[in-house]
Amino acid sequence: MRHQWLLLGACGWVLLVLMFVSKFISLKTDEGYRQTPSQSWTVGDAKVVKPASVQSPVKQTQPPSHQPSESPTGTYWQEVSERRLGHLSAVCKNSSLRNQTHVSISKFVLDRIFVCDKRKILFCQTPKVGNTQWKKVLIVLNGGFPSVEEIPENLVHDHEKNGLPRLSSFSPQEITERLDSYFKFFIVRDPFERLISAFKDKFVKNPRFEPWYKHDIAPAIIRKYRKIHRESDLAASGLHFEDFVRYLGDAEGRRRMDRQFGEHIIHWVTFAELCAPCEIKYSVVGHHETLEHDAQYILREAGIEQLVSYPAIPPGITHYNRTKVERYFSGISKRDIRRLYARYEGDFQLFGYLAPEFLLN
Residue 283 in contact with residue 185, Cβ under 8 Å?
yes
Minimum mean pLDDT range among 205-214, 216-225, 265-274, 339-348: 205-214
Q: How far apart are CA 254 and CA 336, in angstroms?
A: 14
Minimum mean pLDDT range among 5-14, 46-55, 144-153, 201-210: 46-55
Provide CB contacts within 8 A for 51, sequence distance 6+: 36, 38, 39
pLDDT of residue 5: 45
Q: Has residue 340 got a pLDDT over 90?
A: yes
Task: List the 121-124 sheet strands across, edge first.
Answer: 113-116, 121-124, 183-188, 284-287
pLDDT of residue 101: 94
Helices (H), 239-311: 241-249, 251-261, 271-275, 291-301
pLDDT of residue 74: 61
Q: What angle do CA 23, 24, 28 make, to 5 degrees?
A: 115
The one-letter amino acid at 95: S
Q: Which of 261, 148, 137, 114 is nearest to 198 (CA)?
A: 261
Q: Has residue 322 got a pLDDT over 70?
A: yes
- What is the average pLDDT across 90-114? 94
Q: Which of 164, 124, 158, 167 is nearest to 142 (CA)?
A: 164
Q: Is 121 helix (H, G, I), strand (E, B) or coil?
A: strand
Provide CB contacts within 8 A for 292, sequence distance 6+: 313, 318
Q: How far apart are CA 273 and CA 292, in angstroms?
A: 26
Residue 299 in contact with residue 308, Cβ under 8 Å?
yes
For the stretch 236-240, contacts whose Cβ atoms lie closer than 8 Å and that sit 24 or more positions apart, written own/partner, are 238/203, 238/204, 239/199, 239/203
How many other C-beta atoms lie within 10 A of the C-beta of residue 81?
A: 20
| For helices 334-350 and 191-199, angle between their N-to-C axes, nearest 10 degrees | 120
What confidence category does residue 22 fall into, taking pLDDT thresholds of 50, 70 and 90? very low
The full DSSP string for 201-249 is: IIIII-TT--HHIIIIIHHHHHHHH-SS--GGGHHHH---HHHHHHHHH
pLDDT of residue 235: 58
pLDDT of residue 192: 98
pLDDT digits (tens, 9 = 90+) for 211-270: 899 888 999 999 999 877 666 566 566 899 999 999 999 988 888 899 999 989 999 999
Q: Has residue 68 got a pLDDT over 60?
A: no
Q: Is 136 helix (H, G, I), strand (E, B) or coil?
A: helix
Q: How far apart are CA 142 and CA 137, in angstroms?
A: 9
Minimum mean pLDDT range among 56-65, 100-109, 132-141, 280-289: 56-65
CA distances (Å), origin 160, targets 150, 157, 175, 182, 278: 19, 9, 20, 23, 30
Q: How far apart are CA 226 and CA 192, in angstroms?
A: 21
Q: Has residue 52 got a pLDDT over 60?
A: no
